[in-house]
Amino acid sequence: MHAYGTSPEPVALRQRRYFESVDIDDTCIRISSILQPHRLEPTQRTRPIRSHMDVARIGSTAIGAIDFGDAMKVFVDEMEDYYLFVCCLRGHAEIDSMGERTTIGRDRGAVCIPGAKFHGRFSPDCEQFFMRVDRAALTAHTGVELMHFDHRLDLTSPALAPWLAQFRLFASQPEMIELAERNPVVAVEMERMLLTLLLAGQPHRPSVQQETTGIAPAIVRRAEAYIEAHACEPIRLGDIAAAVDVPTRTLLDGFQRFRDYSPMELVRRRRLTRARERLQSDATAVRVADVALDCGFGHIGRFSIAYREAFGEAPSDTLQRRTGAR
């Protein structure tokens, strides 16, 4: 059994041409809007390319086909919040992900999970066939925060035959996609069917990758060090993620797994602590409003409420006790 083999051409996808381009930068930008930011490196830099992408959606899941028009290298440093299942309608590719290398084609695919690297080398005649599954959709379906799939997708496996047949049906029947687009309830059921058949056929288990590798604790520690140094500055969640060089979702996941607070809750705690230290000991701190603003609080009323909740007294009481002791 092949990804398509003697099965009908994916007509439903062909009718949903997302883009055609002869510009490598435009191709990268357009693909990134469906998948994620990445880097493309043509093997033949002097040759023009003619690329295209077809995409159809079934609920929050996307199925599609990409043809780069020539040999291409693809680099993704860290997968965002989705799972990627990829094989080839024609041609072949080498995929490095989750510490493994797999040659994919018509009878073998590859799986990449959120947080993993993805490096691919696609042959000049390759047209890849993919399914993009949002992490939130799979979590809602299984109750598991992060699922670890076997990297190799054996499309000749009898266990995967029902999923593959359903996948091909959606891709080759325009009426099915049109129905999913018109009726959200139907789309949810179609998506559920795809996920159920996939989980029944592809080996998987709840992932413990983050805990065993120690990647998440390192991310958390770097984020905490950054917050310690910059808490009183006007930093946002995106600033913290950028400082430790991870996607925002990865940062939030790390704190959720290893701490009982979020990054911004830690910012708030550090600001309150700095404010209390100033009110208790800094001779230049003569007004509560000035201290609040200096420590990153833009709203004095909210600062006073948060301060009382944290320390059991108003900031003005702390200040008066210090000045009264002179």
**pLDDT tens string 87-136:** 999 999 999 987 788 999 999 999 999 888 899 999 999 999 999 999 88
**pLDDT tens string 267-325:** 999 999 999 999 988 777 678 999 999 999 989 899 999 999 999 999 999 988 876 65
In a domain, 235, yes or no: yes
- Are residues 34 and 167 located together in one domain of the fold? yes
Of the listed ranges 47-56, 65-74, 203-212, the one predicted with least confidence? 203-212
Give me the pLDDT at residue 276, please. Answer: 92
- Are residues 193 and 237 located together in one domain of the fold? no
Of the listed ranges 13-22, 144-153, 205-214, 273-282, the one predicted with least confidence? 205-214
- Are residues 136 and 42 located together in one domain of the fold? yes
- Are residues 72 and 185 located together in one domain of the fold? yes
In a domain, 122, yes or no: yes
- Are residues 16 and 125 located together in one domain of the fold? yes
Give me the pLDDT at residue 8, please. Answer: 55
**Containing structural domain, residue 198:** 11-206
| Domain stops at, among 174, 206, 238 | 206
| Domain stops at, among 157, 177, 206 | 206
In a domain, 4, yes or no: no
- Are residues 271 and 201 located together in one domain of the fold? no
- Are residues 225 and 174 located together in one domain of the fold? no
pLDDT exceeds 60 at position 1: no
Only one residue has tokens 């891709």, namely 171
- Are residues 152 and 272 located together in one domain of the fold? no
Give me the pLDDT at residue 217, please. Answer: 66
State the DSSP string of 196-232. HHHHHHS-EEE--HHHHH-HHHHHHHHHHHHHHHHTT
How many domains in the chain?
2
- Are residues 43 and 170 located together in one domain of the fold? yes
Give me the pLDDT at residue 146, please. Answer: 84
Contacts of 197 (CB under 8 A, 6+ apart): 162, 163, 166
pLDDT exceeds 50 at position 210: no
Give me the pLDDT at residue 109, please. Answer: 95
In a domain, 3, yes or no: no
Say which CATH number the domain at 55 has: 2.60.120.10
CB-based burial label for 185 (10 Å; 0-12, 13-18, 19+): exposed
Question: What are the b/e assignments for 295-317, b being 16+ CB within 10 Å?
Answer: bbbeeeeebbebbeeebeeebee
- Are residues 219 and 202 located together in one domain of the fold? no
In a domain, 5, yes or no: no
Share of the chain above pLDDT 70, in %: 92
In a domain, 285, yes or no: yes
pLDDT exceeds 60 at position 7: no
Choose the most confident range, by mean pLDDT, from 46-50, 228-232, 248-252, 278-282. Answer: 228-232
Say which CATH number the domain at 274 has: 1.10.10.60
Q: In what order do the strands lie in the sheet with 72-76?
A: 39-42, 72-76, 118-122, 93-97, 100-104
In a domain, 6, yes or no: no
In a domain, 1, yes or no: no
Give me the pLDDT at residue 32, please. Answer: 93
Give me the pLDDT at residue 272, please. Answer: 95
In sequence order, what are the beta bridge partners of 85?
111, 131
- Are residues 163 and 97 located together in one domain of the fold? yes
- Are residues 129 and 111 located together in one domain of the fold? yes
| Domain stops at, among 154, 172, 206 | 206
How does the average pLDDT of the chain come out, rounded? 87
What is the pTM for the complete model shown?
0.64
